[in-house]
């Protein structure tokens, strides 16, 4: 399989109030699936034993901050207030037909801002998965 560059990435925040494309001056996006564990260690066991629990996950998006209403600007980030419910759509190879499309129902944890003294202002958005991730090909 041939590799591809992260510059092809398209990240969209879909909610009832608005659909916002966040990519543009993005720096990174990561989806981290996880799973809970149940401890089944008992009696004379000398090592821990676990059973698989429920699935979980989180998404983190980092970008250069752009003022105004453009992609990644104040208008875009106003839809990401902590507690907002929606779906993070991640298209790692862009929107072309047959390319991967990952949808993660999520709760926004809000936008955090970093103001370096001698650098570009960055924003980071974290989402907590709250439902079943769907993976398909772009239609």
Q: Of 100, 106, 108, give the one whose Cα is nearest residue 133.
A: 106
Which structural domain, as residue segments, surrounds residue 79? Answer: 6-137
The span from the CA of 122 to the CA of 118, in Å, is 12
pTM of the model: 0.85
Q: How many domains does the chain have?
A: 1
The answer to whether residue 124 sits within a structural domain is: yes
CATH code of the domain in which 119 resides: 2.40.30
Query: What residues pair up with 58 in beta bridges, in sequence order?
Result: 32, 128
Which residues have C-beta within 8 Å of that of residue 50, sequence separation ≥ 6? Answer: 37, 38, 39, 40
The answer to whether residue 1 sits within a structural domain is: no
Tokens of 122: 């960055």
Q: What pLDDT shows up at residue 53?
A: 95
Q: What's the pLDDT tens digit per position in 3-62?
A: 677 778 999 999 988 888 887 778 899 999 999 999 999 999 999 999 999 999 999 999
């Amino acid at each position: 399989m041939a590799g591809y560059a992260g510059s092809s990435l398209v990240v969209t925040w879909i909610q009832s109030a608005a659909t916002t494309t966040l990519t543009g001056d993005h720096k990174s996006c990561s989806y981290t699936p996880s799973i809970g564990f149940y401890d089944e260690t008992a009696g004379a066991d000398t090592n821990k034993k676990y059973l698989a629990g429920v699935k979980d996950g989180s998404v983190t998006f980092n970008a250069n901050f752009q003022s105004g209403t453009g992609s990644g600007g104040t208008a875009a980030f106003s839809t990401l207030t902590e507690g907002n419910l929606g779906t993070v759509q991640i298209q790692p190879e862009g929107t072309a037909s047959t390319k991967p499309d990952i949808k993660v129902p999520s709760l926004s944890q809000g936008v955090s801002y970093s103001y370096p003294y001698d650098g570009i202002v960055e924003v980071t958005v974290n989402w907590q998965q709250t439902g079943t991730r769907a993976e398909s090909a772009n239609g």
